[in-house]
Structure 1
């Protein structure tokens, strides 16, 4: 989607360009930023691969329960003879799951 449309420019009429020069410039700038970003940690490559900054990073392990469920499902599928080539795991929230965590009130 062109940036200008996202920001509210009306849909162009017949014969009018969908992408403006400014839209293309923003898209090319985004491609450049993405090309200069580590695909693993999403940090700028100029910083994340600088040996002088090796000790400057802190990391934490976080667990996405939906991804963990998908991983266990895929592993079970492979262990029971499923061909994982081309297999994708679709994750859905169970209907019986509580929609939002509930907190017991301590005031009374």
Structure 2
């Protein structure tokens, strides 16, 4: 999403700048670890519980990274792996 910048037009409009500043303000109000609002998560009176989830895309990626790092003579410097959804397995009840 974006706009074509024509000759003599600014790269960022006033609205673009206001939206970027507001987005940053919202990001700054969140905990960088859990993503909860800081005004909520820094309140000692609040209770939280942990829910375990598994991102299967991260799982396959991290397994491939581990295997590459453990392989003999594998230079993984600078290597980045990405995941691509290639299909869905049938669900068996």
Match of 1:72 among 63, 76, 82: 63
Paired residue for 1:90? Answer: 82
Who wins on radius of gyration, i.e. which is larger? 1
Q: After TM superposition, give the deviation of residue 90 of structure 1 in Å.
A: 2.3
Instruction: Report the number of matched residues.
Output: 91
Query: Measured at CA, do residues 85 and 44 of structure 1 come closer, stay the same or move farther in structure 2, by a change above 3 Å?
Result: farther
Q: After TM superposition, give the deviation of residue 39 of structure 1 in Å.
A: 2.2
Structure with bigger helix share is 1
Normalising to structure 1: TM-score of the pair?
Answer: 0.63
Partner SS for 1:51: coil
Q: After TM superposition, give the deviation of residue 22 of structure 1 in Å.
A: 2.2
Match of 1:29 among 14, 22, 25: 22
Normalising to structure 2: TM-score of the pair?
Answer: 0.71
Query: Measured at CA, do residues 51 and 86 of structure 1 come closer, stay the same or move farther in structure 2, by a change above 3 Å?
Result: farther
CA distance in 2, matches of 1:83, 1:35: 37
For structure 2, the residue ranges without an aligned partner over 5 or more in a row are none
Query: Measured at CA, do residues 64 and 33 of structure 1 come closer, stay the same or move farther in structure 2, by a change above 3 Å?
Result: same
* RMSD of equivalent CA atoms: 2.7
Query: Measured at CA, do residues 83 and 64 of structure 1 come closer, stay the same or move farther in structure 2, by a change above 3 Å?
Result: same
Q: Are residues 1:52 and 2:52 paired?
A: no
